[in-house]
Amino acid sequence: MIGELAWAVRPKWHRLESPRSYLRRQCEAAGVPLEIAERGLTTRAQPYLNRVWAVEGAAAAIVEAGAGRPAGHYARLKGHAQPNPEGTYPERFLCRLCGAGERVEQIPHDRENWCLRHPGQMVWAGPGTPPASQPVLPLDPAQAHAEHRFRRLVSAGRVSAQLHARVWEMVRDDAVLSKPHGSLLTRGMSADNREILGRALLYPVTVAMLEVLSDKTTVERWRSSSTKNIRAAIADDIPRVGGPADILIERVVLWLRPTRRATRPTRFASLYIPLDVVDAAAIIDVTAPYPLWVQRNPSAVAEWAWGLNDHTRNPWETRGISRNAWWACDEGHMWEASPSTRGLAMSGCPYCAGQRAWPGHTDLRTTHPDLAREWDKTRGRNAGDPNHVGANSGRRVKWRCRSGHRWEAPIRARVTKGLGCPYCDGTRAVRE
């Protein structure tokens, strides 16, 4: 049927060409302006207002008929290219060699990135890469192997376009921000070239990260890890990137952040942990290195309390680092500290460290109720109460045991050394 077409240009349906792209190429071959052809696709229900493709199916049906394709052919192709109808897919163009010099727009998809159809060559046709910008390189076995692994992940339904985009941002930021001088992404490139060439050259790392982050068992194990162990667990599972992976690990923590937080019950009231969704890609400036305080304490970035701080402020700013900001740890504790203090002192959550007490969660009465019962409640003996002091406090407190003996000792010493009443233990003599 295609061989008997009256139209001069054959559609590249087998390469997922979009109906609009085919119509444009047909108009170029016939010397007809595309706007004229688009007006011919309008109906009373779809007036021409430069939005002829708003009802894509109606216009595509006319193009299908002109191309000699059966009705519904485009819908079937789109279902193959976009398995998730609710998802957002990146703009795509056919490989410049397959297109023979023509600009062929494809149905937006995320099925392949390197074109491997040309012996001894490979063409990068990744997301948003127009034909004029597609690099043609000698065949690289490592890149080809990564491409085959990516296609298997897609066929298995493990990778979505959204996950692919997030993982690329992680790999890109790690390459630029943590290794700015030795990175494949040099600052001398334009922003477009850095994105296109960098995405192509770092593709094996991206695919390796996709294999890990699309493994539900691994991700669930990370989510259940404690704040203390999660970074070590991620470091053990992610691929080696040829240098420090601190930035890459922190980006994974940010990606996990909304799903790792939950409501934790306490003795007084539930501890509501913020479910912040961090759009790191819109915030991070990949043309600039991380501020010095972040380089010294990279794990602090994941604790920035986005919902409590001024929305115009973010942790990657180099100005105002001496001003206090709000932080929230994975346990839900919130506190104020300046970014510079967090970098210089390598400080973490004061409540988790026992430097402060979060009533009902990290206070002495909650963590060590036996010691709290020996707190001397006689008026004037102690300031405060066990609800507002932590087990790691060095404060000297007056105690009273069940036998009525009174003595003074630091809280930390009693907790770490397991000290009890010195009179009952016989280390001190009881006055008669």
Question: Quick one: CA dihedral 205, 208, 210, 213, positive or negative?
Answer: negative
Percent of the chain with pLDDT over 90: 27
DSSP per position, 139-207: --HHHHHHHHHHHHHHHTT---HHHHHHHHHHHHHIIIII-TTTSSS-TTS-HHHHHHHHHHHTHHHHH
d(CA 140, CA 152): 19
pLDDT of residue 86: 84
Residue 186 scores a pLDDT above 60 = no
d(CA 228, CA 9): 62
Residue 126 identity: G
77 closest CA partner among 97, 56, 95? 56
DSSP 208: H
Q: How confident is the model at residue 13 (pLDDT cuts 50, 70, 90)?
A: low
d(CA 38, CA 193): 33
Answer for the pair 19, 38: CB distance below 8 angstroms, yes or no: no
Q: How confident is the model at residue 265 (pLDDT cuts 50, 70, 90)?
A: low
DSSP 326: E
Q: How confident is the model at residue 43 (pLDDT cuts 50, 70, 90)?
A: low
Range scoring the smallest mean pLDDT among 29-43, 183-197, 245-259, 296-310? 183-197
For the chain, the residue count is: 432
Which comes out higher in pLDDT, residue 18 or 299? 18
Residue 26 scores a pLDDT above 70 = yes
Q: How confident is the model at residue 274 (pLDDT cuts 50, 70, 90)?
A: low
CA diameter of the chain: 118
Torsion, Cα of 117, 118, 119, 125 (10° steps): -80
Q: How confident is the model at residue 303 (pLDDT cuts 50, 70, 90)?
A: confident
Residue 14 scores a pLDDT above 80 = no
Q: How confident is the model at residue 344 (pLDDT cuts 50, 70, 90)?
A: confident
pLDDT of residue 117: 93
Answer for the pair 309, 326: CB distance below 8 angstroms, yes or no: yes
Mean pLDDT within 95-105: 89
Range scoring the smallest mean pLDDT among 221-230, 283-292, 342-351? 283-292
Contacts of 361 by beta carbon, 8 Å cutoff, 6+ apart: 264, 266, 267, 271, 331, 333, 351
Mean pLDDT within 228-248: 85
Q: How confident is the model at residue 362 (pLDDT cuts 50, 70, 90)?
A: confident
What's the chain's average pLDDT?
Answer: 81
Which pTM does this prediction carry?
0.68
pLDDT of residue 262: 47
Range scoring the smallest mean pLDDT among 201-205, 246-250, 299-303? 299-303
Distance of CA 282 to the CA centre of its chain: 12
User: What does the pLDDT look like over 103-150, one tens digit per residue?
Assistant: 899 999 999 999 999 999 999 999 989 999 999 999 999 999 999 999
Range scoring the smallest mean pLDDT among 156-160, 359-363, 420-424? 359-363
Mean pLDDT within 267-282: 58
pLDDT of residue 191: 60
